[in-house]
Amino acid sequence: MNDILLVEKFKKKTGIDFENTQLLKESITHRSNGDSGSYERLEFLGDSILSFLTSLYLYKKNKDFSEGELSKKRSEIVNRENLAFVFDKLNLDEIIIADRKSLKTLPDSIKEDVVESIFGAIYLEKGLRGVKKFFKLLLKNSREISDEFYAKNQLQELSLVKFKKLPLFKTEVYSNEKFKCKVYLDGKYYAQSVGKTKKESEKKAAKNALKKIYKESV
């Protein structure tokens, strides 16, 4: 892809026009491509910028939130799953520069890195005002976060208060490449669930355990 087409494609996806084409190319180049430059340094910068913009946005929007609540909300936006989701929504795979023989499909870790590196590149070219535009686009295309996102943390906090110990999550491979997780509180079985990943099964099981605890307390 030539430089002019790359800039046009990026603008079509993000609404942002790059003058420094080399900076844009660096932000979307994976080291597998073999060139000396890759997105890794820009990712380092972009990670901090994204965290700052998210913190500022949440601080202004949620005036009644505690520090802990703000941290949880921030993690909804900057976690790997959401950044990979945004990457896919914007179809950024179409412009990534990488060795496609070794990287036939991009893992979520690379998708996350690329989104962060783009934040770094936009900041260097456009400054804070320009990068805020990309941040708004990220918010617009972020996934909806279910109650399961907080369930594991909530169950851990509740178990510490009630039993003075953390819950036990026993997870094993289930059929069709799925995982089954069983939750135990104070040695007692409480709930289970199945998910596509170990993390998903644990969150769902935690949510089911919370439901059971709440019913018991009614």
pLDDT, tens only, 167-201: 999 999 987 778 999 999 999 999 999 988 888 89
Instruction: For 178, list phi and psi in degrees, rounded to 5.
Output: -105, 170
Task: Determine the pLDDT at residue 118.
Answer: 97
Out of 61-65, 114-118, 134-138, 175-179, pick the least confident: 61-65
Residue 33, C-beta contacts closer than 8 angstroms, at least 6 positions apart: 97, 98, 99
Band the pLDDT of 149: cuts 50, 70, 90. low
- Top pLDDT among 71 and 102 is at 71
Task: Determine the pLDDT at residue 11.
Answer: 95
Task: Determine the pLDDT at residue 180.
Answer: 94
Residue 144, C-beta contacts closer than 8 angstroms, at least 6 positions apart: none
Band the pLDDT of 110: cuts 50, 70, 90. very high
pLDDT above 70 for 64: yes
pLDDT above 90 for 140: yes
Distances (CA, A) of 132 to 5, 44, 84: 24, 18, 19
Task: Determine the pLDDT at residue 147.
Answer: 62
pLDDT above 90 for 51: yes
Residue 56, C-beta contacts closer than 8 angstroms, at least 6 positions apart: none
pLDDT above 60 for 218: no
- Top pLDDT among 77 and 144 is at 77
In CATH, the architecture of 148-217 is: 2-Layer Sandwich (3.30)
Please tell me the distance from the alpha carbon of residue 209 to that of residue 214, in angstroms, as a whole number.
9
The tokens for 138 are 């990220």
Locate the DSSP E strands across 111-197: 168-173, 179-185, 188-195
Do 90 and 111 meet the contact criterion of CB atoms below 8 Å apart?
Answer: no
The tokens for 80 are 């790997």
Mean pLDDT of 37-46: 92
Mean pLDDT of 205-215: 86
At the topology level of CATH, where does 3-141 sit? Ribonuclease iii, N-terminal Endonuclease Domain; Chain A (1.10.1520)
Task: Determine the pLDDT at residue 98.
Answer: 84
- Tokens 């996102």, located at residue: 149
Comma-separated ranges of CATH 3.30.160.20 domains in the chain: 148-217
Do 24 and 35 meet the contact criterion of CB atoms below 8 Å apart?
Answer: no
Band the pLDDT of 146: cuts 50, 70, 90. low
Comma-separated ranges of CATH 1.10.1520.10 domains in the chain: 3-141
Which residue, among 2, 215, 27, has the nearest Cα to 123 in the 3D structure?
Answer: 27
Mean pLDDT of 132-160: 84
pLDDT above 80 for 117: yes
Active-site residues, by number, are 47, 116
> Position 140: which residue type?
K
Query: If you average pLDDT over every residue of the chain, what do you get?
Result: 89
pLDDT above 80 for 37: no
